Amino acid sequence: MIYTKKKIPLLVAHRGLMARYPENSLEGVEEAMRTGAPYIEFDIQCTADRQLVLFHDADMHRTSGVKGQIFDYRFAQLHNISAGETERFGDRFSGTRIPLLSQLVELAQRYPDNNLLAEIKPQCIAHFGLRPIMEQLFLELEPICSRCTIISFHLPALQYIRERKPGHMCGWVLDGYGKCQQQQAQHLKPELLIGSKLLLAPTTPLWPGPWQWMVYEINDPVLAMRYAAAGIELVETADVASMLKHPLLSG
């Protein structure tokens, strides 16, 4: 009898270990690194004084409970604002602060075995301009660029990478799955194509190309294995620690 080994997906820690820590916090990112997550994903926005920070929303209210947008605050002002997600965690992480991207880069250098997915948010680019944001991003990610893929919904940002830094890895987060997007992917040739579980089902025919596929947000090990069997190599999850320990995904 011939046994075929099951495909096991590579797990991506979504905004760090966000099931147990505030999203995009250094604590949550470091815990995901400690667990041995193959990939760590984090989001990048920009403050009023042009400091790149780890933050998802443009609006501050959901994670920090204050009015305004991240672009309205200078980085020094953020020292007095918690990013502890009180709606999810109460006061448990009230001392958590929004970190600089440079702090993440410093942290990542202590964990050389993790790959990084740095998502630059479209609102940030729209507010400050494509070129200045991307050039600053290249500069700050330089120490970890060999294992860091810049990802975004913003196709012009990825095209800018191809023009300015053709050796830098990039990934396109898809907002649609049609002929137009397929043609754009074939032109861009990103290292990674990324879709939500609403966009990509395990039965969705995948476009052939030189890229790997990633799906988010998957917290069910059985579903993760179904995606892997369908040809999706990377699965993003909020609770990478639990997923890594599951018998189906532990190898």
**What is the tens place of the pLDDT at every residue in 153-207?**
999 999 999 999 999 999 999 999 999 999 999 999 999 999 999 999 999 999 9
C-alpha separations of 164 from 104, 131, 227 in Å:
24, 10, 34
pLDDT tens digits along 73-102: 999 999 889 999 999 999 999 999 999 999
pLDDT above 90 (res 6) = no
Please report the pLDDT score of residue 3 as a whole number.
42
Please name which of 91, 66, 90 lies closest in space to residue 78, comparing C-alpha atoms: 66
pLDDT above 50 (res 237) = yes
What does the domain layout of the chain look like in residue ranges?
10-245
Please report the pLDDT score of residue 4 as a whole number.
46
Residue showing tokens 């039965």: 203
Please report the pLDDT score of residue 250 as a whole number.
80
Q: CA 67 to CA 157: how far, in whole Å?
A: 28
Domain 10-245 has CATH 3.40.50.300: no
Indicate the pLDDT class of residue 2, thresholds 50, 70 and 90: very low
Q: CA 51 to CA 215: how far, in whole Å?
A: 30
Please report the pLDDT score of residue 5 as a whole number.
63
Please report the pLDDT score of residue 126 as a whole number.
97
Q: HEC profile for 188-244?
A: HCCCEEEEECCCCCCCCCCCCCCCEEEEECCCCHHHHHHHHHCCCCEEEECCHHHHH
pLDDT tens digits along 221-236: 999 999 999 999 999 9
Q: CA 228 to CA 222: how far, in whole Å?
A: 10
Q: What is the bridge-based pairing of β-strands 10-14 and 39-46? A: parallel
Q: CA 154 to CA 122: how far, in whole Å?
A: 6
pLDDT above 50 (res 1) = no
